[in-house]
Amino acid sequence: MLINNTSIAIVGGGPAGLTLARLLQLKNAHVKVYERDINRYARIQGSPLDMHEDSGLAALRKADLLEEFKKTFRPGADKILILNKHAQILYSDHEAKPEENFGHEHFRPEIDRGPLRNMLLESLQPDTVIWNSHFISMEPHNEGWMLYFKNGTSAYADLVIASDGANSKIRPYLTDIKPVYSGILMLEGNVSKAAAPKIDALINNGKIMAFGNTQNILMGQKGNGDLGFYASFKADENWAVNSNLDFSDNQQMLKWFREEYSGWSNIWNELFENAYIPFIPRPIYYMPLDQAWETQSNLTLIGDAAHVMPPFAGEGANMAMWDALELSACLTDNQYNTLAEAISAYETNMRQRAASAIQESLENGERMHSENALTMMLAFFSEHLNS
């Protein structure tokens, strides 16, 4: 096997990095994951993820974790309501959609990021994850790399795999291609269900997608009962600065919402008036569809480090875990004579897959923020997700 006697460093302990570590350890590879968090409890994990049959779930199957996943996912959390700006329900699959339908191409079970991360961590060998390892830089050393961390430590690896997200510090060692702004900004907020009783009664533990005036409100219920939501709209890349908004002031944010989402029902006011602060503006970026770089034999990228993409197709985490699945297969496949060949095969396929997913997501984003978004989204869900 190509990676026999090869020390592998995965930088970043998100779903992609941990999935890759698990898959490689099943092949007896020597793997360490370097994660900047002080420990596994250092951060409250973000919004839930929906796993797709041919990507995220396929990776979990290969990792022998599907049965564990079935104990951990949240049945019914993938159910969807489509609303207009007046909060009228125009589409619901709450009655028709089964809570568990593994193997069906349109079944996308939801799992909170925390439980997914814990499940992956528990699957790894002891001391695989080196916590408090905030990557600063690296330099060539022998045939591999010497990595340096903020805490003053360093580590050598024959092969480095960047899994450190959209703002990857390792990506520039491989390519100078930078993400492109999509023109869409998502303003993230979270609110307790008790503080938004009307919205909580509507969402019923599932998801809401509301469309009107080229604007969206997208939201889902988390495992702890909180409602995570996004006000999504087209804006200048520097909107967060130029708006002069105080994202830690609920009343100011409520005033902004009432003005900018003019004509939307007062029911949505619950979100902005009572949200935990601060709100987080998230400009949405993507990687150029034609990105390419020269393969290196000791360095590659997975997940957002490789292919930042808009969230409008739900492919981000799924593509990342698919990367882990495909890279692990290439690194442990005897058909390749060198690591460079194996990595090249992975990167070629990965870039093609990512370009297709990015294109789909960009097109969805345009539909969702168009004048007739509501009509198009109703048609999409009625035609495709009831099949």
Residues 22-43 pLDDT 10s: 999 999 999 999 999 998 887 7
Strands (DSSP E) along the chain, which ranges? Answer: 7-11, 30-34, 49-50, 80-84, 89-92, 110-111, 129-130, 135-141, 144-149, 154-157, 159-162, 180-191, 207-212, 215-221, 227-234, 280-286, 299-301
β-bridge partners, 149? 135
pLDDT, residue 316, reads: 87
Do the bridges between strand 129-130 and strand 207-212 make them parallel or antiparallel, or are there none, so unpaired? unpaired
What per-residue confidence (pLDDT) applies to 387? 52
With a cut of 70, say whether residue 300 has pLDDT above it.
Answer: yes
Cβ neighbours of residue 383 under 8 Å, at least 6 residues apart?
none
Global pTM value: 0.94
Asked if 302 contacts 324 with a C-beta cutoff of 8 angstroms, the reply is: yes
At residue 45, the pLDDT reads 58
How far, in Å, CA of 89 to CA of 232, rounded? Answer: 19
Copy the structure tokens of residue 112: 């909170």
Q: Does the pLDDT value for residue 47 go beyond 90?
A: no
Give the phi and the psi of residue 88 in degrees, each rounded to 5.
-85, 130
Instruction: Give me the mean pLDDT over the 195-205 stretch.
Output: 92
Domains of the chain: 7-74+112-178+288-366 (3.50.50.60), 180-286 (3.30.9.30)
* Residue 340 pLDDT exceeds 80: yes
Report the C-alpha gap between 237 and 283 in whole angstroms. Answer: 6
Mean pLDDT of 300-308: 97
Lowest mean pLDDT among 91-105, 126-140, 232-246, 370-384: 91-105
Confidence bin at 225 (pLDDT 50/70/90)? confident
